[in-house]
Structure 1
């Protein structure tokens, strides 16, 4: 007696063994439904973790962009010369005046040797400029009786020199406090001194002694920008 649950077999076919996997060479009968095919979806690309390196010369996947270059943080740069505009400029007239007045004029504790030498050059040169300006005013008054036109030019130069000498003393004391804007202003004064030396030599037929002051000021300016001096200014700025 036949079992109604048995599936009729096609002639020449072999019965399917138990289990889900058909035997090798098995062909489903005609008209039988085909089993659904499944395809594994391709995995989506994910950004690699920081520090990950692809093995060998494997090319990055499509759409991958190399991270942009980032500027190194301050303090990680080289120790060479690096100019930056000062950010500690004076906000009022009181910021220009020396801290505590002129009583701490001779206190240079904590400064590197290069800045100490530069400071004394600026300070002594400023006082000598004030003294020379006062003497020049009296000499110009005598020159007015001989050559009035030349005396007027010389008097103007003497007044400008007096103002610059006074500013030099004040700026030197602010530089001693670690103010970068004062260092930059003193460097600009060297350029002004060069211009005055050229004008003075032209107006006095080469008898001006302004070139000596310019060379001394140039040496003082160079000392302010040496590596030890720059490191000291940065340390003062961080602790301010």
Structure 2
């Protein structure tokens, strides 16, 4: 294979490259990254859609817009954490695990309050649980343990 047909080692090519990682890390990365994109888009679209509430209930609309912006920010953070986790950063794996825990709490609160889309929250939790379990399996653990020995300058 010629050098011109390879993805670049930096920039967008490196951002999406999962070569050399265990399958568990590859799958977990894509689950977290795509989930982050969906959360970011959902938060931004929800914020735009809630702008019509300002005519009827300005205080409620402001709260909804703030929550949608928070959802978008969490989605963006999730994408950053996923990229850092893929690069072998243990703190990013812990941060994603915490996000999965928050998803569980939110699903429980939503179910007990009877508000919102309970099924959607539980689905989001189960997907994040699967991605979290993958990051903590023995093969992934060994890969993270070897991370300091690898060259991670391509982050």
TM-score calculated relative to the size of structure 2: 0.78
C-alpha displacement at 1:217, in angstroms?
Answer: 1.0
Tell me, in whole angstroms, the C-alpha distance in 2 between the residues paired with 1:116 and 1:169: 14
Give the aligned partner of residue 64 of structure 2: 154
Taking the aligned partners of 2:95 and 2:36, their CA distance within structure 1 comes to: 14
* 1:4-23 equivalence runs, <5 A: none
Structural RMSD (CA): 2.5
Q: Distance in 2 between matches of 1:196 and 1:160?
A: 14
**Which runs of 5 or more structure 2 residues have no equivalent in the other structure?**
1-8
**Greater gyration radius:** 1
Aligned residue for 2:52? Answer: 142
* Residue 200 of structure 1: how far off its partner (Å): 5.3
Higher relative contact order (CA 8 A, sep 6+): 2
**The 10-residue stretch of structure 1 (149-158 or 196-205) with the greater mean CA deviation from structure 2:** 196-205
Separation in 2, partners of 1:101, 1:111 = 18
1:170 aligns with 2:77: no
- CA deviation vs aligned residue, 1:45-65 (integer Å, no higher than 9, x gap): xxxxxxxxxxxxxxxxxxxxx
Q: How does 1:1-240 map to 2 (within 5 A)?
A: 100-198=10-108, 205-207=115-117, 209-239=120-150
The match for 2:3 is none
Quick one: distance in 2 between partners of 1:228 and 1:152?
46
Aligned to 1:144, the other structure's residue is in SS state helix
Distance, in Å, in 1 between the alignment partners of 2:52 and 2:113 is: 17
In terms of fraction of residues, the more helix-rich structure is: 2
> Corresponding residue for 1:60?
none
Shift of 1:133: 1.1
Q: What's the CA shift string for 1:9-50, capped at 9, x where partnerless? A: xxxxxxxxxxxxxxxxxxxxxxxxxxxxxxxxxxxxxxxxxx
Counterpart residue number, 2:6 = none
